[in-house]
A and B are shown apart, each in its own frame.
Chain A
C-alpha cells in the first residue's frame, strides 16, 4: 500500500476529482495568456527561437499537469510536480533569453504569472510544504534572472524593486496554493476525525444488536441439538454408547458450521450478504470469489473500504447479477494481486463517468491500479502487501 501523503487528493480522492476541471482551466488559461502576451510584446523579443521555446516548454508543463490531474491517473506524484515545476522554470529562463537586452517592462513578462497559476492548479494535489519550498527556490531563480535584465528596463529604478515586482506574482500564487493545500488538508483531517468518531459511536450502539443476532444464530442450533442432549444426559446421570455417538455427531456438525464461519473472509461475507444489511445471497461467494491463498484478509481497512464501496456500487446497476462479477485473488511470490472483472452495460464514457471517483479512491489506497474497459468487460488489477 502507498503511504498516504497529506494532500487533498490522497485524503479526499472523490472530492479532488472535482478539482481537475479547475486545474485544466488554469493551465489552459496560463498558456493562452502567455501566447497573448508574447504576441502583444513582440517588440521586446530579441531572440524569437527562445521565445517560441519558452511557449513550448510552458505548454509541456501545462500538459503534464492536465494529464496528471485526470482522476484515472491519480495520484499526482512529487516526481510529476517536480518535472512540471522544472519545465515551467525552464520556460521562464527561455522567455528571459528571448528578451535578453530588449526587455523593456516587467509587466509584459508572462513567466512569473503563468508559473504561479500552474502552482495554484497543483494546490489540491501536492503538500503545502512541497509547493512552498519549491516555489521559494524558483522565486530566487526568477530574482536572479530579473537582476540580470535590469539594465534593459526603460523605467529607471532600483534592482531590488524590480526583483520584488517580478517575483511577487509567482510568489503570491505559490504561497496561495500552499495555504489552500494546508487549509484543505487540515479541514479534511478534522472532518474525518469527526466522521470517524460519529461512526465509531454508531457502531458501538449497534454492537449489542449485532451480538444478539450472532447469538440468535447459535441459539437456534443449540436449542435444536445441544440443549436437549445435555439436559437428557444430566437428567439420566449416565452416558450410553448412543449418547457418545450422538455427542460426536452433534460436535461434528457444530464444528463444520463454525469452521466455515470463522474462515469466511470479509470479501466473501460482502458478496454473500451485500454488506451488513445482509440481502442474503447464499452461495454467491463460491461463484464470484476465488481466493485459494486466503489473501483478501491481508488488505488494510482503507483498501477494504475502497473495494467495498466499488462493489456495492454495482448493486445500483439494474439487472446486475453475480454471474457478471468475478473476483480473483492470488499470492504471487509474497505479492498479493487482485483482479476484479465485471460485465457492464455502459459505453466507455458513461462507465468512466460513473466509476471515476471510485477509481480515484482505489488509486489512493493501492500502489498500482490498472483499469481496462473493453465493452462490456471492466477489468481492475491491483496489488498490495500485508496490512
Chain B
C-alpha cells in the first residue's frame, strides 16, 4: 500500500511556525490536491513529503514506513517542480535519464524506459532537443517524464502548470488527469488555482494559514463548505456571503427575507452569515425560493453567461445568469430568486457551517 499518511505534521522556522500539526491520509492511487492561498503552507507540506524540508514534529508515513529522517532519494517519490527544473545543458533524453543514471540503472534499460515514457508523453521527436528549444508545454511534459521514468511510489507536483498560458494549462490539466488514470500512482498536487483543484482531484485539501480547513471530494467541498473560508475559496466567482439574522422560516438579509429549508423558530434571532452561490440564483421564481431585491451595478458578459455585479443594502454580490446570446434583458434585472434548498448558513462568529435541524 503506497499511501501517504501525515500525522500531526508541524513545520517551524525557529519560533515561526508555518504548518500547525496537520493530519492527512492519502490513499493508494489517490489524486489529492492541496489548495490554498499563497503562504498557506501547501508547498512547505509537499516539500516535507519530498524530504526537501525537515519535519519539525509529527509523523510522515509512506507505504507503512515512517520516513521523517529518510533521505529524499530513499523515499521513492518523484517531484515535478513549478519551473520544471530541467537541466539546460542536457537534452530531453538525458534530462529524463538523469535520475536513472544516478541510480546506476543499466544503459539498455534506461533507453527502453526513456523510449516508453517518451512515447506515452509524445516526446519521441524531441528527445535530442535541449529545454531551450522546447515550448512551455513540452518542457512540462519532459518534467513529468523525468518523474515517471523513476516509477516512484508517489508523485509530487508543485504548481506544475502555473507557468503556462491559460489554454495550455487546460490541455496539460487533462493530460495529467489521463496520465494519472493510466499509471495509477498516488499523487499529491499543490496549486493555488481552484479550477485545477476541482478538475484534477479525487479529494481536495483546502489549506489556510498552516492548517487544513477541509478535506473532501470536489463536489463535497463545493456543495458543503465547512466554513466561510472554503466557501469563498472554491467557486468562481466565490460564494456571496452576507450578514443576516435567522427567522422561523429563513433569514433576514438587509430588508429582505430569504427562505431556507430546515429553518425553525428554535434558531430564530441567531446572527449568521448567509451564503449564496452566484450560479444558484435564477431570474424568475423556480420552485420554493425567495426574491432578493438588488440594484445592478454592472453586467459582465462571458459569452453563454454573464456576471451580474449587484448590491443589496450594504452587501456587494455577484450572480451568474444565462445570456442566451443576448445581454440586453439583463440590464433591467431588479431582483434575483434564491432557491430555499441551496442557501448555506455559517456561524457569524466562528464562520463554521451550520446544519439546520441537526
Task: Check if A and B associate.
Answer: no
